[in-house]
Structure 1
Amino acid sequence: MRSNVSLTSFNTFGLPAVAERYLPLTDPQQLQDPIFQRPPALVLGGGSNLLLLEHLSGLTVHVQLGGVQVLGAAAGAGAGTRSEDSPHYYQPEVILHVGAGVDWNQLVRYTLDQGWYGLENLILIPGTVGAAPVQNIGAYGAEVAERIVAVHVWEYGVGPRVLRPEECHFGYRDSRFKQEPDRFLITAVDLRLNGEHRLKTGYGDIQRELERLGKTDPRPADVALAVTNIRRSKLPDWFFLGNSGSFFKNPVVPLSVATSLQQRYPELPVYPVDGQSAKLAAGWLIDQADLKGVRHGAVGSYARQALVLVNHGGATGREVLAFSAFVRQTVFEKFGVELEREVQLVGSSPG
């Protein structure tokens, strides 16, 4: 354990922050230490969904548990087969046990290299495997919850447990781990890949990109390539321009509200959730509020994707928080829709 450790290089926003105490978690046996009878102030993964303020009191645990293990797989490899009369790919299922500290994007690329599918729409999402269930990460019509078999956790004051999907309370960008942040530390995740699988190409610009690539009969790897191209064309690389990806959730509103807004703004993207509600595109709302590319000092909305707030260099967490409040207020005044932060706010600022 170390004291007064800078976390600037451990968060993709590149925001200055200092942890009062810092402990890398590299071996599950460390959890037997009495210090893990109580939750730490922060459990840190890839730092991709965080808005850090300058000072983090207490203990920060940096999860670095690695390893990818095949728990079960039937014979057969390749990108999957598809019959002429079925739009489904099929390959015997494979179950992976993945350490919480494994980089998510590297895992997705590894599965595709092995000819396994199911995660192709979730490629190029920053962060670690352990953070994926917390946020129930999703993109282009897919969510990680659809592939989770079990989540291995350390329950503070209790010990190791294995939670089934129904015990995780997954929702849109939500989970039990987010609802009860001081109860569990995720150590590993079991994922089910392959099986009968319909490609998801109807969300966003995937179909258009597949057509541009000349993929008239796409396979999972083609969908991954299309998603990669789309994300790279719209989203900044955090290594060069600090950001946390999508800063706000796509708001879910009553269907009547969505219908009324679409009557006023026919171009508004609306995605039905159920018979009573619909999801709106937060990026479109921010864009139409004339905020795309707007900059206040070192913080701004990305010029290619309004949903992403960026650190142009030297920004503090307090400045990002203030700019996000400005965005939320502007969108609410124009559309009457409340935006909710997707990122987790952690720490405190002087003054």
Structure 2
Amino acid sequence: MQIQSNFSLRHLNTFGLESEARYFVEARSIEELTEILLDPVWKQTAKFILGGGSNVLFTRNVDALVIHPVIKGIEKIKEDDDRVWLKVGGGEVWHDFVMHCVENNYGGIENLSLIPGTVGAAPMQNIGAYGVEIKDVIESVEGVSIQNGQKRTFSKEECQFGYRESVFKRALKDQYVITGATFVLSKNPVLNVGYGDVKKTLEEMNVASPTIRDVSDAIIKIRQSKLPDPAQIGNAGSFFKNPEIPSGQYAELKETFAEMPGYVVSAEKVKVPAGWLIEQAGWKGYRRGAIGVHERQALVLVNYGGGNGNDIKALAEEIKASVSVKFGIDLNAEVNFI
């Protein structure tokens, strides 16, 4: 392992923002990761774990040892007539793993196609899209303690998954490096095509009886039509969570905003698309110098090149304030501010 000083993180975050790590190291195995965590030379140095960088907004340099785990591997560890269990390294690119499952006709995560980031970051955020969340297919998560290098396996229940939440963002924040996860996929899946534009897109593709690949292709087509490619325009995908509001509040808002979409979460809660709220508040396509709100998807804040993380943070606060004034709804960022 080579530890580098004053290392640029610009190519390791999808916003493409300049940030400098005081120290940086890449760990290609659990053994290398444990070695650096237990090294007495670095024991007292603050540590920051950086995966695919698809969910971070750098607003400063990182005065720490930045550890970039790239632990790979997809291993079939068990199967029966209906299911297959796959153990996957945390450094695997999430979309590559989805494509592996699609190619092998393993169902359950095809709706999560083209989500940026790594497998290790996925359970931390409980990533989700088009009616599916990672908690629906995960069995366990493996991690290594940053404090003492001890390995630990977390059951699905111990992960305490919520909407874009997990124990790794709350009680165990900054305490573990997620090195891998075990997923349970279906050999005879029930396809989920009822959320968003999936069914409509399949119809446009002239697909009457969709396969796993058809659903994946439809999701990719939808995402590419709405979301900018980070390789072309810096962004972190959805910047805000879709807020869940009381059913009574939603009913009252519908009286004023008849077109307001909503998805029933429970008898008490309705989920409202944050992108719709932001667009109605007048932000879609807004640009301020090198940063702005994407012209096709108001939920995505972008860096057109040379942008500053603090400027994006300030823009996000302005958007939150305007949505709160117009609708009385508080938006919460899905992106982590650093």
Distance 1:37 1:94, change over 3 A: farther
Aligned-partner Cα distance in 2 for 1:31–1:61: 8
TM-score, normalised relative to structure 2:
0.94
Alpha-carbon distance in structure 1 between the residues aligned to 2:33 and 2:228: 36
Name the residue aligned to 2:30: 28
Paired residue for 1:56? Answer: 62
Return the match for 2:148 from 157, 160, 165.
Answer: 157
The code of the aligned residue for 1:163 comes to F
- Provide the residue aligned with 2:105 in structure 1: 115
CA shift for structure 1 position 37: 6.5
Deviations 1:141-180 (A, max 9, x none): 1001111011001123260011100000000000001112
CA RMSD for the aligned pairs?
Answer: 1.5
The structure 2 residue matched to 1:266, chosen from 249, 253, 258, is: 258
Q: Is the 8 A contact 2:293 2:302 kept in 1?
A: yes
For residues 241 and 272 of structure 2, the distance between their equivalents in structure 1, rounded to whole angstroms, comes to: 9
- In 2, Cα distance between the equivalents of 1:224 and 1:294? 31
* 3-state DSSP of counterpart to 1:166: coil
TM-score (norm 1): 0.91
Tell me which residue corresponds to 1:330: 322
Alignment check: 8 A CA contact 2:21 2:63 kept: yes
Question: 2:180 aligned with 1:188, yes or no?
Answer: yes
Number of the residue aligned with 2:17: 15
The residue aligned with 1:68 is 74
The aligned amino acid for 2:335 is V
Unmatched 5+ stretches in structure 2? none
Q: CA deviation at 1:39?
A: 8.8
* Aligned residue in 2 for 1:178: 169
Superposed displacement of residue 20, structure 1? 0.6
Match of 2:137 among 128, 137, 147: 147
Whole-Å separation in 2 of the counterparts to 1:280 and 1:7: 34
Letter in 2 for 1:193: L
State the match for 2:120 in structure 1.
Answer: 130
Q: Matched residues in 2 for 1:31 and 1:325: separation?
A: 36
CA contact (8 A) 1:37 1:158 kept: no
One-letter identity of the residue aligned with 1:105: H
Q: Is the counterpart of residue 43 in structure 1 residue 46 in structure 2?
A: no
Aligned-partner residue type, residue 56 of structure 2: L
The alignment-based identity, stated in percent, is 40
Counterpart in the other structure of 1:197: 189
Residues in 2 aligned to 1:345 and 1:39: alpha-carbon distance in whole angstroms: 21
Distance 1:298 1:45 in 2: 25
2:308 is the counterpart of 1:316: yes
- Count of residues in Structure 1 that have an aligned counterpart in Structure 2: 330
SS of the residue corresponding to residue 198 of structure 1 reads: coil
Deviation at 1:209, TM superposition (A): 0.4
Q: Is the 8 A contact 1:52 1:345 kept in 2?
A: yes
Q: Which moved more, 1:36-45 or 1:195-204?
A: 36-45
Q: CA deviation at 1:40?
A: 4.8
Q: Is this contact kept in 1: 2:105–2:187, CA < 8 A?
A: no
Report the AA paired with residue 174 of structure 2.
D
Q: Which of 269, 279, 282 matches 2:271?
A: 279
1:66 maps to amino acid? K
| Cα pair 1:122 1:138 within 8 Å, conserved | yes
Aligned counterparts of 2:268 and 2:290: Cα–Cα separation in 1: 40
Q: Kindly tell me: are residues 277 and 28 of structure 1, through their superposed partners in 2, closer, same or farther at Cα, counting changes over 3 Å? A: same
1:198 CA displacement: 2.1
Q: 2: distance between equivalents of 1:29 and 1:106? A: 24
Matched, 1:248 2:240: yes
Unaligned residue ranges in structure 1 (runs of 5+): 75-90, 347-351
